[in-house]
Amino acid sequence: MRSIIKYFTQTAMEIIRKIINHAYTLCVKGAFRRFGKGSLIDWRLERFVGAKHISIGSDTVVHEYSRLMTNCLIEGVTPELVIGNDCNIGSRAMITACRSIVIGDHLLTGSNVLITDNAHGASTYEQMQLPPLQRPTTSKGGVCIGKNVWIGNNACIMPGVTIGDGVIVAANSVVTKDIPPYSVAAGVPAKVVKSCNQQ
């Protein structure tokens, strides 16, 4: 009897959660530059900033406690964040663009993933004397992630990086350089540990 009650309780909670998520998405989707059909944002999203510069494709899900942000912090640059179709952004992800982040279709991320195109200041003696929040925002370039990419838990995708189609980024990796298509990258900094290009 307890197992039956537990099953129906869990099922009811899941239905309620879906209804709340759909209602929340309906309320906020108009703030975005583009918001595709069938996409969903969890109502527990931690925050989104600069939604007018954020485009989300169709059938994409952004899970709980994540942050999507664009900031106009670089003079003369209008930021953009583009997330493709059928992407699954794991919980507690942080995606922040001051220049450009473009994510292809079918991205899957684990939890606690960071994707950023910017940093708090340059690593110079003069700037390092300042508190980090007082340093001017810098960017080494935008981030481009191809289609069918899988990024594991706690991975960091840093500024100026291009990740090719089909890439797997292992958990806890820090990607600081381009990763070619159909390869596996792992480590800090991430290096290609396997290449699966067609013969």
Residues 152, 123: Cα–Cα separation, whole Å: 28
Is 53 among the catalytic positions? no
Check: CB of residue 166 under 8 Å from CB of residue 180.
no
Complete DSSP assignment for 108-127: EE-SS-EEES-EES-S-HHH
What is the overall mean pLDDT for the chain? 92
**Average pLDDT of the residues in 48-64:** 96
Q: Could you tell me which residue, 58 or 133, shows the higher pLDDT?
A: 58
Q: What digits encode the pLDDT tens for the residues 148-188?
A: 999 999 999 999 999 999 999 999 999 999 999 999 999 99
- Note the pLDDT of residue 8: 67
Q: What digits encode the pLDDT tens for the residues 109-126?
A: 999 999 999 988 888 898
Residue 73 confidence (pLDDT) above 60: yes
Measure the N-to-C terminal CA separation of the chain; round to a whole number of Å. Answer: 57
Q: Determine which of 50-64, 95-109, 127-141, 150-164 has the lowest per-residue pLDDT on average.
A: 127-141
Strand partners, 145: 103, 163
Residue 199 confidence (pLDDT) above 60: no
- Note the pLDDT of residue 1: 67
Over pLDDT 70: what percentage of the chain?
97
Query: If pLDDT is split at 50, 70 and 90, which confidence band does 51 have?
Result: very high
State the catalytic residue, choosing from 22, 63, 106, 120: 120
**Average pLDDT of the residues in 37-46:** 92
Query: If pLDDT is split at 50, 70 and 90, which confidence band does 14 have?
Result: confident
Check: CB of residue 85 under 8 Å from CB of residue 106.
yes
Q: Report residue 151 as tokens.
A: 């990024």
